[in-house]
Amino acid sequence: MLITCPYCGPRDVVEFTYQGDGNRERPDPASQNFEAWNAYVYDRLNPAGDHNEIWQHSGGCRAHLRVVRNTLTHEILSVAFMRSTHTSTARRKAEDKS
């Protein structure tokens, strides 16, 4: 499986660490809503098809990426930085190179 890191380019999956289901919403830190916390910590979507996931390019730039992956075909449909500031840095880098 290849994931195209927006910063580093296409890289083998062994360079990445899977960081789980990207659909989870962390409750407000002060929230006492136990159901919401339980869902956040333990519940994971497991679709057969397109899945919204978080991957860290741990063997590269270490950025966390939002990856849409088809769990049946392993096709990677989109990759984006989780943190928007990375996007601007990368864009600047890309512009510098061109």
Partner 1 sequence: MSPRRADTGGRIDRLKTIRFTFDGAAYTGHAGDTLASALLAKGVTLYGRSFKYHRPRGLLTAGVEEPNALVTVLKGEVREPNIPATMVEIHDGLVAISQNRFPSLAWDINAVNQLGGKILSAGFYYKTFMGPVIGPLKGTRFWMFCEHFIRRAAGLGSAGSAKDPARYERMNAFCDVLVVGSGPAGLMAAKAAADQGARVMLADLEPRFGGSANWSGETIDGAPAADWARRAVAQLEGRDNVRLLPRTTVWGYYDNNTLAALERVSDHKEQPGKGEPRHRYWAIRARSVVLATGAFERPLVFPGNDRPGVMLAHAAERYANEFGVLPGERIAVFTNNDSAYRAAVALKKAGAAVVAIADVRPEPSAEMLKLAAEAEAEIFAGHAVVATEGGNALTGLKLQRFDMANGSLTGDARSIHADCLLMSGGWSPTIHLASQAGAKAEWNAARQAFLPPKPTQQWPTQHWIGAGAFTGSFSTTEAIAEGRAAGLAAAGGTSTPAALPTVEAVPGDPDPAPVFEIRAKGKSFVDFQHDVTAEDVRLAHREGFVSVEHLKRYTTLGMATDQGKSSNVPGLAIMAEALGKPIPEVGTTRFRPPFAPVSIGSLAAERLGDLKPERLTPMHDWHLANGATMYSAGLWYRPMIYGHAGETVEQAYVREAKATRESAGIVDVSTLGKIAVQGPDAAAFLDRVYTNMFSTLAVGKARYGLMLREDGLAFDDGTTWRLGEQDFLMTTTTANAGKVMQHLEYFLDVIWPELKVHVTSVTDEWAGAAIGGPKARQILASCVTGTSVDNATLPFMGIVHGEISGVPVMICRLSFSGEMAFEVYSGAGHGTHVWEALIEAGKPFGLVTYGLEALGTMRIEKGHVTGAEIDGRTTARDLHLDWMLSKKKPFIGSAMMDREGLIASDRLELVGLIALDNRPLNGGAHIVEQLDEANPHGSIGHITACCYSPALGKHIALALVKGGKARHGTRANVSDPLRNRFGPVEIVSNHFFDPDGSRMHG
Cα–Cα distance for residue pair 94/69, rounded to 1 Å: 24
Does residue 49 bind partner 1 (CB under 8 A)? no
Binders of partner 1 in range 50-69 (CB under 8 A): 54, 56, 58, 62-64
Helix, strand, or coil (residue 66): strand
In the complex, what is the shortest distance from the CB of residue 10 to partner 1, in angstroms, rounded to a whole number? Answer: 10
Residue 50 Cα to chain centre, angstroms:
13
Does residue 34 bind partner 1 (CB under 8 A)? yes
Helix, strand, or coil (residue 80): strand
Q: Work out whether the CA dihedral 69, 65, 2, 96 comes out positive or negative.
A: positive
Q: Which is nearer to partner 1, 1 or 45 (CB)?
A: 1
Q: Which of 9, 18, 23, 26 binds partner 1 (CB under 8 A)?
A: 26
In the complex, what is the shortest distance from the CB of residue 91 to partner 1, in angstroms, rounded to a whole number? Answer: 16
Q: Do residues 86 and 7 make contact, with C-beta atoms less than 8 angstroms apart?
A: yes
Does residue 35 bind partner 1 (CB under 8 A)? no
Does residue 2 bind partner 1 (CB under 8 A)? yes
